[in-house]
Amino acid sequence: MSLFDKYFLMKEEDVIVYVQEKTSFFPKDAELSCKEIGDGNLNYVFRIVDAKTNRSLIVKQAGDQLRISDEMTLTRDRGRIEANILKLQGKLCPGLVPEVFLYDGIMSAIIMEDMIGHTMMRTGLVNHEIYPAFADQITTFLANTLLLTSDVVMDHQQKKELTREFINPELCDITENLVFGEPLLDYNKRNDFLPEMADFIEKNIYNDEELKAAVADLKFNFMNNAQSLIHGDLHTGSIFINQKHTFVFDPEFAFFGPMGYDIGNVLANLFFAFANGNATIASLDEKKHFCGWCLCTMMEVLDLFKEKFSKLYDEMVTDPSAKSPQFKEAYLKQILADSAGFAGTECIRRVVGIAHNKDIMVIESKEKRMEAERILLLFAKNLILHRDTFLSGTDYYAAAEKAVHAIDPANEVIGPKRTILDYDTVALDEYKHALVIIDQTKLPNRIEILSLTAQEDIWDAIYLLKVRGAPAIGVAAAIGIYLAAREIEADDYNTFYEKFKKASGYLNSSRPTAVNLSWALKRMEQIVIDSKELPLAEIVELLHKEALKIRQEDIDVCRNIGRYGLSLVKPGDGLLTHCNAGQLATVKYGTATAPMYLGHEQGYNFKIYCDETRPLLQGARLTSFELASAGMDVTVLCDNMSASLMREGKVNAIFVGCDRVAANGDAANKIGTSMVALAAKRYGIPFYVCAPTSTIDLSTATGSDIVIEQRKASEVTSMWYKEAMVADGIDAYNPAFDVTDQDLITGIVTEFGIAYPPYTESFKEIFLRKEIKKTVEEIVDNLDMGI
């Protein structure tokens, strides 16, 4: 008869005998030692190590009572649920959960892989370790385990069977009380917090009826939304980790619930780590390093989850109704709102409730701990009460900043506040091999950073104006085609080149008017043509270098345009611009705004006027936003008001950008530009087009030869309104661009100087200067190589 034929709660010496009886993992002459290492509130976790071989196992046993309270009892069947879920998650996310070797229903014990070489993430974070691979790996876990167990993907009958198998009423009851009930209502009179926090908690938690109603809504969402198989307790104590790898375990709370509960728990626990570092690290530089990582990882987790979820959704969706793009968008938005709300409830319950968090409890200074707890509670309230607005990582950063500065206005870790100018308009993420852009369709209300890897997503970003402005589109195209080249599977040059041309043609079809798009793609293609004799890997690396070169050149070009443009104005001038040819349309400085940025740096104190630029309002949403962020004096006006402004003598010069310049000097720019030029001609105001030479298309004779993109009518009739402003059945004329005739243009400002009429002649001088510069650079490069 075995000692283990009847349940009892094992001690360390029992576990050694247990694993020898139940497994053949260790040799008979093994020298085994055992230590209980559990850090949770429910179960007992033992590590067994053989001193001879250094092999190890984990045994996890469920008890009848919670470790935090003998009063709280629960079924030991949770061990079965956990073992089965680990097996399922192992199939969905191979390598990210430990392998289960045995589940013993009598002893309610799981024998599983030891996550050797890993440490509990909470312990590491309390010691202020950072984990570079965490955001990538945890978001893979979240996207796969959550989406692939939802009705969007699973057979509905099969999902209902799994829902029944993994019903977990006792542990859900614990969550419903300890997370959603007791912290706000204290009906069991066991909330536990510092006495000095009582007034703050009374005011901000107990007496906030709006908050209590919002948490009640989240509670009933948790109880009734069987969306997917969730981990149910995904805090940093349920993660083992090292610098390169992440293990998720301990899913005894798992059941079919709302996806946002797992996501929110991860986000909240990263903010706990931030709060600990902010309170305990003495060195400001070290504090900024660790706390900055916590905040950036929090942002990255949210944004990477969105990206991976969206891609996996498109690949795996099976339900016909769920294939609607509008449904997908609404579905994801609700998940994000839930994530924010549940992150908030996690923060509150760890401060106010019975189950505390080690990150906060180890803060020795009572004053610092209270400061951290107040920050957590304010952060939590913002997340819960405004959960529908937390759609990107930057929204979490802003909320963290608001909470920190409300309690500690002089805090240097999370400030000063970042502006739109602190973000790259378009860049290459070398680590993720992704095109990184600001989603300009969300501005100015939200700064959302997109990380794009799929060619379809890059095409959409260009077409949908998430990245826009001729120079920025050119840089995005260069990076995009390099990323496409990295993914090309080919054994020979000809196959590689054919696939490259197909990918290039696809990207080029996204915006027909912007010449920089085709210019950048042709330049990248020339690299492939000139490198025919090289190995394919070297060709890809040359494309990599060329894409980065194009990006750096754009910065240099815009700076030079600004230098020449600044020579045309004087301090205190009133300057008008149309649409957005600013930093958001380039990598830095902009084209039309470059003289403004350089003048601002030199104290010119310009008065800037921005046309709103119907129908997409780039002037109102983008130009005024970025110039105001830089500290300039900016006024927005409707497009039909610019002539009135000129007549009143408030405009001294006009600078606009362009998407293409013809050989005769005609310039295509955002619709409405030619109307501004006509008014400027009438009132004798100089009208300048700021154009990189890459935008001057000498193969296009006149503006009549430029293809003008026609966009959908809804941009005019309904896009910016709650209700349509045009009656049903009425069409809308919506060209994206118009052509300003060359005789209306005072001068065209390039990086090699200012071209004046007749442009067919002055362009020759401009391009001669460009050719001379190129020749000199080639001579210098050859000298550097010793040729």
Instruction: Supply the residues annotated as catalytic.
Output: 659
- Can you give the three-state secondary structure of 103-134, one letter per residue? EECCCCEEEEECCCCCEEHHHHHHCCCCCCCH
Nearest to 661 by CA among 448, 515, 778: 515
Nearest to 708 by CA among 676, 670, 748: 670
For 249-313, give the DSSP string. Answer: ---TT-EEE-HHHHHHHHHHHHHHHHHHHHHH---HHHHHHHHHHHHHHHHHHHHHHHHHHHHHH
Q: 3-class DSSP state for residue 370?
A: helix
Nearest-angstrom CA–CA distance, 307 and 771: 43
Neighbours of 324 (CB within 10 A): 13
Cis peptide leading into 571, omega within 30 of 0? no
In one-letter notation, the amino acid at residue 298 is: M
| Residue 363 Cα distances to 278, 279, 413, 518, angstroms | 10, 7, 18, 58
- Could you give the angle at which helices 366-385 and 209-224 cross, rounded to 10 degrees? 70
Cβ atoms of residues 42 and 63 within 8 Å? yes
Tokens found for residue 169: 């009423």
Q: What is the 8-class DSSP label of residue 742? A: G
712, exposed or middle or buried, with CB in 10 Å at 0-12, 13-18, 19+?
A: exposed
The sign of the CA dihedral 486, 153, 300, 506 is: positive
The pairing of beta strand 696-697 with beta strand 660-662: parallel
Neighbours of 209 (CB within 10 A): 8
Instruction: Kindly report the backbone phi and psi dihedral angles of residue 450, in degrees, each rounded to the nearest multiple of 5, phi listed first.
Output: -105, 140
Cβ atoms of residues 267 and 234 within 8 Å? no
332, exposed or middle or buried, with CB in 10 Å at 0-12, 13-18, 19+?
A: middle
456 contacts: CB under 8 Å, gap ≥ 6 = none
Tokens found for residue 273: 């780590």
In one-letter notation, the amino acid at residue 156 is: H
